[in-house]
Structure 1
Amino acid sequence: MIDVLKALFAPGPAPRDDVAPDVAVAALLVEAARVDGVYDPAERRAVEALLASLFDLSPAEAQALRARGEAAQSEAPDIVRFTRVVKGAMDEDQRIALMEALWHVVLVDHDRDPHENALLRHLAPLLAVSDHDSANARQRVQARLG
């Protein structure tokens, strides 16, 4: 009985960051696209275009990375594992560029859902991006999208 209790409270194995940074970015973009309950072809194309731009990928490579991101996002219990990987792999300018990409995915349909706003407010500090930098990223995207 004591051994069972010891095993129950013994520290488990350390969590593995077995997700690659590019897949973590793709998963976060997919999460942003899906959070409002609509994940349409325009959002898929936007995710692919952003991945191609962020990682200098061909269209086929971006499509494959999007698919890996979709799989990782749908299997993950939360987004923290992705933000942890991204935060460790990207410098501040890259994380701000990612925040801009996340806003692009959210705003590509010209509709800001409350769930999308909540997600991006939640993601900014997890990615070590200030509210000010996130707001500026949103404004740049809004200006580009018209």
Structure 2
Amino acid sequence: MFERLFPRRKPDPKPLPQPNAQLALGALLVRIAFADKSYQAAEVGQIDKILASTFDLKPLEAAKLRATCEALERHAPGTPEFARILRDEVDYEDRKALADAMWSVALADGERDEGEELQLLAIETALGLTDADIAAARRTALAPK
């Protein structure tokens, strides 16, 4: 009877970690995948592959990192804050490689989406990439395979 009158409160959720380069990259990859309002298994798999190869993680570790990044993306700072972390911690050549990785997430579902491409452009710009490097990443990603 008392349970109906005084239901137990859900425990406070675990606080989110402070974003670092790993979390910032993962959150931006998730943000790109969500930009078309559809988060598909192919995109999840591509994010896991990128995180595993970039940070030398085992598949389960990469999946756990992605899950943390998903929560962070929903509740944490916006794109400029994540990009600032990467600009501060990652050299320019590696940021260019990140743009290629981000394109692979945007195209992982086999479809081009204007929302994903706009989100990607905003991220590439916030990462401080030049217009020429942004265009090169786009050309590479969209080139026939």
CA drift at 1:113: 1.0
Q: Is the 8 A contact 2:40 2:109 kept in 1?
A: no
TM-score, with structure 1 as normaliser: 0.82
Give the percent of matched residue pairs that are identical in Structure 1 and Structure 2. 37
CA drift at 1:131: 2.2
Query: What is residue 105 of structure 2 aligned with on the other side?
Result: 105
Query: What is residue 7 of structure 2 aligned with on the other side?
Result: none
Query: What is residue 62 of structure 2 aligned with on the other side?
Result: 62
Counting matched residue pairs gives: 129
After superposition, the CA RMSD in angstroms is 1.7
Residue deviations 1:50-102 (CA, integer Å, cap 9, x gap)? 11111111111111111111011010252222111111000001101111111
Query: What is residue 50 of structure 1 aligned with on the other side?
Result: 50
CA drift at 1:140: 2.5
Q: Which amino acid aligns with 1:138?
A: R
Q: Is the 8 A contact 2:43 2:105 kept in 1?
A: yes
Q: Which amino acid aligns with 1:58?
A: K
Instruction: Give me the whole-angstrom Cα distance separating, in 2, the residues matched to 1:36 and 1:81.
Output: 21
Query: What is residue 75 of structure 2 aligned with on the other side?
Result: 75
TM-score, with structure 2 as normaliser: 0.82
* Unaligned residue ranges in structure 2 (runs of 5+): 1-16
Larger deviation: 17-26 or 33-42?
17-26
* Unaligned residue ranges in structure 1 (runs of 5+): 1-16
Q: Is the 8 A contact 2:52 2:62 kept in 1?
A: yes
Q: Is the 8 A contact 2:26 2:47 kept in 1?
A: yes
Alignment of 1:122-141 (within 5 A): 122-141=122-141
CA drift at 1:120: 1.4
Instruction: Give me the whole-angstrom Cα distance separating, in 1, the residues matched to 2:83 and 2:62.
Output: 20
Q: Which amino acid aligns with 1:80?
A: P
Q: Is the 8 A contact 1:84 1:126 kept in 2?
A: yes
